[in-house]
Structure 1
Amino acid sequence: MTATVSNFYYGAVTPVTAYLMACLGAGLGLRCTTRSLRRPHRRAGWLALGAISIGCGIWTMHFIAMIGFSVQGALVSYDTTRTVLSLAVAIAVVAIGVFLVGYRGSSPVNLGVAGTVTGLGVAAMHYLGMAAIHTNGDLNYDTQTVALSVVIAVAAATAALWAAVSIHSLWSSLGASLVMGLAVTGMHYTGMAAVSVHVTGQAASSQSSTSLVSFLLVMLAGPLIVLLIAAVIVMFDPDMMLGDDERDRATAAPYGSGTGFPVQQPAPPSQPYTTR
């Protein structure tokens, strides 16, 4: 029997929260990448923090959205190992893309390679997370809808990596993060639209939806803490405290107006030499 599948069991709460987490991870990743370009001596550290932020944001978005996933006549649980592995995949593939554009630039070829690798990795994270589902039924996927979700993932990843090395101002980064969050969340729900479940047995009476939500909340705790730490680091960084304009003025203060060279201070007037 094919069961009725819903992705909005708790209404708009899960999709809105998932979208906001995707935006948070994208925004932190963009600001970290901006700092890596301004500080070459700390580039690897900032790129790593950016990759972790984006990866955790995408993964957190996915599993917050999955809280609203329900199958009529079946109870759902998750395999812990595959769930954690999907988090590692998300961070690893984002790191590949971020480090490629961070060190090799945003040429069309490099951006295309980095975006494709990252997008395919994000799609792999999504479907690995789906493979972690245990239920009294078989999950089936519509091939065309799955292919569409992969295309969206690649396009979203490419746009995100381009924005990471091309958009530097605070407000532009915030706007880009909203668009990126929409793209990543759209990829998730497109992938979920491909899912159908054929129930093959009775649900175990010992399971409950409350235990499922509790499991997902425990799994989400670690990435949420990481995102909080990343947010604190970014917020208290001098670039954020000053702002882009103030930082540029502070950097340019010892220099002549538009010359790029230090201002030459006039020497004090020489005193006439007198003898007694």
Structure 2
Amino acid sequence: MTANVSNFYYGAVTPVAAYLMACLGAGLGLRCTTRSLRRPQRRAGWLALGAVAIGCGIWTMHFIAMIGFSVQGALVGYDTTKTILSLAVAILVVSGGVFLVGYRGASPATLATAGTVTGLGVAAMHYLGMAAIHTNGTLHYHTLTVVMSVAIAIVAATAALWAAVSIHALWASLGASLVMGVAVTGMHYTGMAAVSVHLTGASAGATSSASLLSFLLVMLAGPFIVLVVAAVVVMFDPDMMLGDDNWDGAEPTAALADAPYLRQ
């Protein structure tokens, strides 16, 4: 029997919160990448922090959205190992894309490669997180919708990486993060639209709604703290206080010498 599936068990609360977390991760990633270009001597550290922020933002968005996921007539639970592994995948693949454009620039070939790898990694994180689900049924996916979600992930990742090395003004970065939040959240809900659940029988791994909510909140605590720490680091960085409107006037020699593609 095919069960009724909902992604909005708590109404608009979970999609809005998920969107905000996606925006936070994207915004911090953009600012960290900007810092890496202005401070070549600390480039690796800023890129690493940006990758962690984006990865945690995407992962947190996914599992906040999953709080609203429910299957009528079935209990839902998660495998802890696969859930944590999906976080590791998100951070690792985003790191690959961010470091690639951070050191190689925003040429079309580099962006296409980094965007594709990162997009596939984001999709892998999403579906690995879905594979962690335990329920008294089996999950099935509509192939075309899955392909659409992967395509959205690749386009969103490519756009995010382009923005990371091309947009430097504070307000422009904030606007870009809002757009990226729409793209990343849209990828998630497109992927969820592909899901159907066929009830089979009892599942030992399924838990009550209260237990599931507690589990997800515990899982979300760590990445959320990381995002808060990253936000504090970015906010108290001297460049953030000075602003980015005079990008070309701030450390032009070091930045442009180490990142010649910025002159294009």
Shared fold per TM-score greater than 0.5: yes
CA separation of 1:206 and 1:237: change in aligned 2, threshold 3 A: closer
Aligned counterpart, 1:74: 74
Output aligned runs, 1:128-207, within 5 Å.
128-202=128-202, 207=207
Provide the rounded CA distance (Å) in 1 between the counterparts of 2:165 and 2:26. 13
Provide the rounded CA distance (Å) in 2 between the counterparts of 1:96 and 1:206. 35
Q: Secondary structure at the match of 1:244?
A: coil
Asked whether the 8 Å contact 1:239–1:247 carries over to 2, the reply is no
Provide the rounded CA distance (Å) in 1 between the counterparts of 2:9 and 2:74. 14
RMSD: 1.7
Provide the rounded CA distance (Å) in 2 between the counterparts of 1:108 and 1:122. 20
> How many corresponding residue pairs?
252
Higher relative contact order, structure no. (Cα contacts within 8 Å, ≥ 6 residues apart): 2
CA offsets, 1:168-227, max 9 Å, x none?
Answer: 000000000000000000000000000000000146799310000000000000000000
Asked whether the 8 Å contact 2:38–2:251 carries over to 1, the reply is no
Determine if the alignment matches structure 1 residue 19 to structure 2 residue 16: no
Asked whether the 8 Å contact 2:75–2:206 carries over to 1, the reply is no
Q: Secondary structure at the match of 2:56?
A: helix
TM superposition outliers: structure 1 runs of 4+ over 3 Å:
202-207, 245-252
Determine if the alignment matches structure 1 residue 41 to structure 2 residue 38: no
Asked whether the 8 Å contact 1:75–1:204 carries over to 2, the reply is no
Identical-pair percentage: 82
Q: Secondary structure at the match of 2:196?
A: strand
Aligned counterpart, 1:117: 117
Q: Which has the larger radius of gyration?
A: 1
Aligned counterpart, 1:270: none
Richer in helix (by share): 2
| Residue type of the alignment partner of 2:145 | T
Provide the rounded CA distance (Å) in 1 between the counterparts of 2:119 and 2:51. 13
Provide the rounded CA distance (Å) in 2 between the counterparts of 1:245 and 1:222. 34
Aligned counterpart, 1:242: 242
Aligned-residue offset at 1:250: 7.6
Aligned-residue offset at 1:244: 2.1
Unmatched 5+ stretches in structure 1: 253-276
Provide the rounded CA distance (Å) in 1 between the counterparts of 2:215 and 2:95. 27
| Residue type of the alignment partner of 2:29 | G
Provide the rounded CA distance (Å) in 1 between the counterparts of 2:121 and 2:251. 39
CA separation of 1:235 and 1:197: change in aligned 2, threshold 3 A: same
CA separation of 1:139 and 1:251: change in aligned 2, threshold 3 A: closer
Aligned counterpart, 1:3: 3
CA separation of 1:206 and 1:131: change in aligned 2, threshold 3 A: closer
Provide the rounded CA distance (Å) in 2 between the counterparts of 1:247 and 1:108. 23
CA separation of 1:112 and 1:249: change in aligned 2, threshold 3 A: closer
TM-score, length-scaled by structure 1: 0.88
TM-score, length-scaled by structure 2: 0.92
CA separation of 1:167 and 1:82: change in aligned 2, threshold 3 A: same
